[in-house]
Every structure is written in structure tokens, then in C-alpha cells.
Structure 1
Amino acid sequence: MLMPSIFGENFMDDFFGFPERYFGRTFNTTRMMQTDVAETDGGYEVTMDLPGFEKEDVKAELKDGYLTITANANKNNDEKDKNGKYIRRERYAGTCSRSFYVGENISQEDIKAKFENGTLKLNIPKDEKPEVEESKRIAIEG
């Protein structure tokens, strides 16, 4: 039996998906920056999907133990006919970012990053925390 999509995964798609359904636009923010994190022997491998972005649009920054990935897009798809009149004008500008705590002892040189075919891959070593010395009690006389 077919059920209305209001009973599906995300009933808000019926309301907020209206322009895409009827006007053919396919911008879907739920697929932006989907991230997989896998633990390896020496650290973590992070794979992030950034469809539609170029390498120049992506920035990775490490500050206070937090790794922040930011993707910034500014697209302009102007099409003109032979007389120079616009047939279609579409613009998109937007920014998305994600942050991950990687540890205070990780430096920028420790993290390796590669961007290929809309996918960012990061290799992040584990933050080896220095061992904390056990507290020893001092006897108080009196």
C-alpha cells in the first residue's frame, strides 16, 4: 500500500521540498559534508563528501585542539542567447563547516589532507596524552 511521504523518514520534505519537486532544482542540504570516521592503528581516517566544491573552496584549520573544515561556494550560472539576453540566471552562495576535537597535542604538520573528486580525506594521528602521575597523599600530623 502506498503511503504519503508524510509518514516516511522526514515529513518536512513535503513542505520544504516543494520548489525542488516542481521546479527541478536538486539542492539537498542533508547530503552536504557527510562524514565517515574510521579508526586505524595510528590514528583516524576521516572521509568527507563535498559534492560540487572545488579544492580551492575547502579550508581546514586547526585551533585549540579543534579541526574545522569549511567549504565556501559562490557559483554563478549565467546563460545568454545570441543577442546577449538572459535565458536563465542562477546563483548560489553558501558556506558550510564541521568541527572535530582532535586533541591539544596535534599540530598542523601531523594532519595529512587530500581532496579528490569531491571527497576530502584526512589522516589524523591519535592524540597521545601524557601519562598523569598518580596523586600521592602527604601525611598531616597533629
Structure 2
Amino acid sequence: MLPFERSDSNVFDTFDNFARDFFRKSNADLPAFRTDIRDAGDSFLLEADLPGFNKEDISLDLKDGILTISAVHQDSSEEKDDKGSYIRRERRYGSFQRSFDVTGIDESGITAAYQNGVLTLTLPKARPVEPETHKIAIQ
């Protein structure tokens, strides 16, 4: 048995439903910024796209095995006429944040560089700790 859905809709509801579904499926589910992570053998390379940010706008925090990348950008511009009235005034503010689990990474060896809108982190892999063995003398 298949469920039957009764609909009392008319042709105009199709357009309303389209608009509702379109905005519901917007980019709200996308991450704050795009990242690529590559395995480079003895380390991982994390590249984060942060165009329009200055190096000073970006913050990297490491706590309890979680690496958090934050970026905050504020920009404003004004154009006035001879009387001091606004012709155009624009303000822009944006903040982004993403966190990554860095279990298995040598946290003391992490390095970062920012160039042309791309933040590149080198995350060296932690060396596995080998259990020590030693002989016990029998007396």
C-alpha cells in the first residue's frame, strides 16, 4: 500500500512552493569557507580560501586537540556631496569560523602562511610512540 497525498492546491501554489524550496535549499548548509586537506606523506596540508581578508583579520587557536580558524572583516566607505549629504554609504561585515580535530598531529610543529587569499597550514603528523621494552634480570 502506498501513501496517498491529497492536495487542494492550484497552479499558483506551484510558484509559491518553488520559491519556498529554492530559499530553503540555499547555501546556508555550506561551510563558512572552503578548505582542501591533502596528505603530503609526513604532514597534512590544509588550504583555506579566505579572499578579501588581511593577515591581521585571521586568528588560529589550538585548544584540547581542536584547531579553530576564525576570520573577521569590517569595511565601510562613504561618499558625500558638497552639502555633506550622503550620496552613497556602504558597510560590510563578515565573520567566519571553522574547527578541525587535529588528533594525531604534532601540535608544536604546525606552521601557517597567508598569500593571495589562501591560508596554508602545514600540520606535521605525530610520530607513533613505540612502547619501550627492556629485559628484567632474574635473580
Tell me which residue corresponds to 1:47. 47
- Tell me the CA shift for residue 11 of structure 1: 2.4
Structure 1 residue ranges without an equivalent (≥5): 18-27, 134-142
Alignment check: 8 A CA contact 1:32 1:49 kept: no
How many residues were matched structurally? 115
What do the CA deviations read for 1:8-59 (whole angstroms, capped 9, x no partner)? xx82289x79xxxxxxxxxx99585100000001110011001221111001
For residues 66 and 129 of structure 1, do their structure 2 counterparts lie closer, same or farther at Cα, with a shift above 3 Å needed?
Answer: farther
Q: Please, which runs of 5 or more residues in structure 2 have no aligned partner?
A: 1-14, 133-139
Tell me if structure 2 keeps the 8 A contact 1:65–1:106.
no
Could you say what the CA RMSD is over the residues aligned between the two structures, in angstroms?
3.1
Q: Percent identity?
A: 39
Letter of the 1:44 partner, please give it. Answer: F
Counterpart for residue 110 of structure 2: 111
Would you identify which runs of 4 or more consecutive aligned residues in structure 1 move more than 3 Å? Answer: 28-32
Greater C-alpha Rg: 2
Partner SS for 2:38: strand
Matched residue, 1:140: none
1:1-142 aligned at under 5 Å gives the runs: 11-12=22-23, 30=30, 32-103=32-103, 106-107=106-107, 109-131=108-130
Scaled by the length of structure 2, the TM-score of the pair is 0.67
